[in-house]
């Protein structure tokens, strides 16, 4: 296009034409920008050149008019091309800006996904896990994923690397909720399972659990680390138990319910029961055992006529002594090793005392008491007696001593 312009110009205008050509090239190069000043300047300078040529060479005016018209047409075509180039560059700049907005800051990270379209009213927004929701500062506030070590989906509120709440199903089919601190330590756990549901709260080394976390059934369990401190539980039959543990983790006391009532037991350092309180169908019972949970040594109970205390040897076996309340009276009985009465001391219905010493055959060998008149009597048996106020002697089968009121 520019060579045609050069051929049509007068030789004297060579220098001027070269200047026009340079301006045209500059105008075409500047068409890629946003400013059309170069083209405006070109038009102005061509007009000046036109007036100068017409003033210097009037004889060639008509030829120059035609050439200048063609030059103006070429300039108009250049302006059209520049406008089209400007439009294409604007479109390219918009596309580049869009690509930069989608490009992550770290080249090693995958491209940032575009926001999902907002559903219309009444429609459900569907997302595909995993996905993360961040706040304006770029902090993670919500996350849904499927950890490879669990194979189950989870929802996380907060940053999984710090304090957060985690919820979702467990591999066993239960549902769980966990609260973690800044060090990702689990402080509160809640598990919902028809077979084993519970709530556990930790505070430093101590923890408390409510639910079915032990083989004892559903209850409240206090622990220091893995060591038990106390628990309150109920078995499947509905019987309740309270246990208190020592510093070594051994049970020191327990309170349980039984069909007849309740039981209270205390244990030694080896968890052997050494004392117990029971409620039976016939009333209450207190049992004291020997060291190391040996046989019962003392048994306190209630009978139909009153209270009863029995003592036994440390190795167990028959009772050795008994103290009972028999209605309005009381009695003390001492037993031999076969469990047969050897000595009986009791109060009679009259209010006086009565003592019986038995032989190995269970017969009354010595009996001491009070007569109706208020005098004392001692009889030696097992059969017969001497005359009142006399001491039997010789070969008499029996003898007795009897007091006499007002006698000399």
Over the stretch 365-378, which tens digit does the pLDDT of each residue have? 888 888 877 888 88
Over the stretch 256-298, which tens digit does the pLDDT of each residue have? 888 778 899 998 888 888 899 988 777 889 998 888 777 888 9
- Return d(Cα 34, Cα 16) in angstroms, integer: 28
Phi-psi region of 292 (alpha: psi -120 to 50; beta: other; left: phi over 0): left
Judged against a pLDDT cut of 50, whether residue 76 lies above it is answered with yes
Contact in structure between 379 and 371 (CB atoms under 8 Å)? no
Element (H, E) at 48: helix 37-56
Contact in structure between 188 and 201 (CB atoms under 8 Å)? yes
> Residue 214 — pLDDT band, cuts 50, 70, 90?
low
Angle, CA 212 vertex, CA 206 and CA 215 arms, to 5°: 90
> Which residues neighbour 378 within 8 Å (Cβ) at sequence distance 6 or greater?
366, 367, 368, 400, 401, 402
Q: Is the pTM of this model over 0.75?
A: no
State the DSSP code for 278: E
- Return d(Cα 317, Cα 298) in angstroms, integer: 12
Over the stretch 94-136, which tens digit does the pLDDT of each residue have? 888 888 777 666 656 655 556 666 777 778 878 888 899 999 8
Judged against a pLDDT cut of 90, whether residue 345 lies above it is answered with yes
Which of 98-112, 153-167, 215-229 is the least confident region?
98-112
**Per-residue tokens: 143:** 């996350």
Facing residues of 322 across strands? 310, 333
**Could you please report the per-residue DSSP string of 111-179?**
PPPPPPPPPPTTPPP---SSEEEE-TTS-EEEEEE--TTT-S-EEEEE-TTSSEEEEEE-TTS-EEEEE
């Amino acid at each position: 296009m520019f060579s045609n312009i050069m051929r049509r110009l007068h030789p004297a205008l060579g220098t001027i034409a070269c200047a026009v050509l340079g301006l045209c090239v500059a105008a075409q190069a500047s068409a890629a920008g946003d400013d059309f000043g170069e083209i405006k300047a070109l038009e102005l300078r061509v007009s000046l050149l036109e007036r100068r040529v017409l003033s210097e060479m009037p004889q060639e005016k008509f030829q120059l008019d035609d050439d200048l018209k063609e030059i103006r047409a070429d300039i108009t075509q250049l302006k059209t091309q520049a406008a089209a180039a400007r439009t294409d560059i604007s479109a390219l700049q918009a596309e580049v800006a869009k690509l930069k907005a989608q490009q992550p800051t770290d080249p090693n990270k995958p491209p940032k996904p575009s926001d999902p379209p907002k559903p219309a009213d009444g429609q459900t927004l569907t997302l595909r896990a995993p996905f993360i929701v961040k706040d304006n500062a770029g902090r993670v506030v919500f996350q849904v994923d499927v950890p490879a070590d669990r194979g189950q989906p989870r929802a996380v509120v907060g940053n999984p690397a710090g304090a957060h709440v985690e919820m979702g199903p467990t591999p066993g089919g239960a549902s769980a909720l966990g609260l973690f601190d800044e060090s990702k330590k689990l402080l509160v756990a809640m598990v919902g399972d028809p077979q084993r549901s519970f709530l556990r709260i930790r505070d430093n080394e101590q923890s408390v659990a409510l639910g079915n976390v032990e083989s004892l059934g559903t209850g409240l369990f206090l622990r220091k680390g893995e060591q038990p401190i106390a628990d309150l539980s109920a078995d499947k039959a509905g019987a309740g138990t309270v246990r208190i543990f020592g510093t070594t983790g051994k049970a020191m006391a327990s309170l349980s319910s039984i069909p007849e009532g309740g039981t209270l037991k205390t244990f030694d350092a080896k968890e052997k029961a050494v004392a117990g309180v029971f409620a039976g169908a016939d009333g209450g019972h207190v049992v004291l055992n020997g060291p190391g949970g040996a046989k019962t040594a003392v048994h306190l109970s209630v009978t139909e006529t009153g209270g009863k205390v029995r003592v036994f040897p440390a190795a167990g076996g028959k009772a050795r002594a008994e103290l009972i309340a028999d209605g309005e009276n009381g009695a003390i009985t001492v037993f031999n090793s076969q469990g047969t009465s050897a000595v009986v001391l009791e109060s009679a219905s009259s209010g006086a005392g009565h003592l019986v010493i038995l032989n190995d055959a269970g017969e009354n060998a010595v009996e001491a008491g009070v007569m109706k008149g208020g005098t004392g009597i001692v009889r030696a048996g097992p059969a017969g007696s001497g005359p009142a106020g006399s001491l039997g002697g010789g070969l008499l089968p029996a003898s007795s001593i009897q007091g006499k009121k007002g006698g000399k």
